[in-house]
Amino acid sequence: MKVLITGANGQLGGALTASAPEGASLHTVDIDDCDLTDAGAIKELVEQAAPDLIVNAAAYTSVDKAEGDEAAARAINSGAVAALRQAHAGKLVHISTDFVFDGTSSRAYRPEDERRPISAYGRTKAEGEDHLAHGDILVRTAWVYTAGGVNFVRAMLRLMQEKPALGVVADQIGAPTWASDLARTIWALVAAEATGTFHHSDAGVASWYDFAVAIQEEALALGLLKKTIPITPIPTNAYPTPAARPAFSLLDCSKTRELLGDGHTHWRVNLRRMLEEEKNLV
């Protein structure tokens, strides 16, 4: 199976490459290899790679910057998906986000729930979803992190070393996602010849405050941090940002887990695994 992976240098792209199934022949590209805002360049890439499968892990993920340049976000998050879909006759796997929802639900969001994005990033990701064909796979995820990446976990580790105390938002609720488990789920959906929309995040529920507290505790246990600092829960309005965030964006992953028949690892277990990997990078 020949697989084209876009966004290969990102957190998920790296995890997909590392966990690719035996027999998969990978063609990996990132921003320096192909301008994903150029439909012609995408067409040429697909023709040259001639993949059986495309996994689109590329995205404009600067949520706050997108508020001031929605066109740039749309070019990657929607336009590139349309161009990939038009250039490729086979299956496309596309990765989307919890930000397509408005955060007002009283239960975890199901794949079929109505999308009501409240940010430029969310709008452009929702538009990208609409370019997929009937036989494709859409996987929504949230709060992705991995060892060595640019993410909340590594930002917290740095701040916990530099600051005497931290305030972390406690009224945004969801679940973290270790990129390695997300990648394994994507490959499993491909192997199962799945089609349609699926959700994947780690099991459990957390606020950003809960996540930060756990990061400190686990990092101290592993020796990645040398001291404890106070972490205070704060409301979203105490940390204003250009883009609105959904207050509740927990994803219902039951459809995914039932199809694959696998377990669902709690986010704290995966956090520990990631930090063990991070320790090996130090």
**HEC per residue, the chain:** CEEEEECCCCHHHHHHHHCCCCCCEEEEECCCCCCCCCHHHHHHHHHHHCCCEEEECCCCCCHHHHHHCHHHHHHHHHHHHHHHHHHCCCEEEEEEEHHHCCCCCCCCECCCCCCCCCCHHHHHHHHHHCCCCCCCEEEEECCEECCCCCCHHHHHHHHHHHCCCEEEECCCEECCEEHHHHHHHHHHHHHCCCCEEEECCCECCEEHHHHHHHHHHHHHHHCCCCCCCCEEEECHHHCCCCCCCCCECCECCHHHHHHHCCCCCEHHHHHHHHHHHHHHHC
pLDDT digits (tens, 9 = 90+) for 64-84: 999 999 999 999 999 999 999
Whole-number pLDDT of residue 208: 98
- CA proximity to 11, closest of 131, 125, 137, 154: 154
Tell me the whole-structure pTM to 2 decimals.
0.96
Average pLDDT, the chain: 97
The residues carrying an active-site annotation are 121
For the cut 80, the answer to whether the pLDDT of residue 254 exceeds it is yes
Whole-number pLDDT of residue 193: 97
Length of the chain: 282
pLDDT digits (tens, 9 = 90+) for 173-201: 999 999 999 999 999 999 999 999 999 99
For the cut 90, the answer to whether the pLDDT of residue 90 exceeds it is yes
Whole-number pLDDT of residue 170: 98
Return the CA Rg of the chain: 19
Q: Spell out the SS3 assignment of 141-201.
A: ECCEECCCCCCHHHHHHHHHHHCCCEEEECCCEECCEEHHHHHHHHHHHHHCCCCEEEECC
**Residue 247: how many other CB atoms lie within 10 Å:** 17
CA distance 239 to 258: 38
Q: Work out the pLDDT band at 282, boundaries 50, 70, 90.
A: confident
Token pair of 52 as six digits = 């059986």
Q: Work out the pLDDT band at 263, boundaries 50, 70, 90.
A: confident
Q: Stretch 16-33: mean pLDDT, rounded?
A: 96
CATH class of the structural domain 2-281: alpha beta
Q: Stretch 76-96: mean pLDDT, rounded?
A: 98
Q: Work out the pLDDT band at 153, boundaries 50, 70, 90.
A: very high
Whole-number pLDDT of residue 114: 98
Q: Work out the pLDDT band at 117, boundaries 50, 70, 90.
A: very high
Whole-number pLDDT of residue 187: 98
Whole-number pLDDT of residue 245: 97
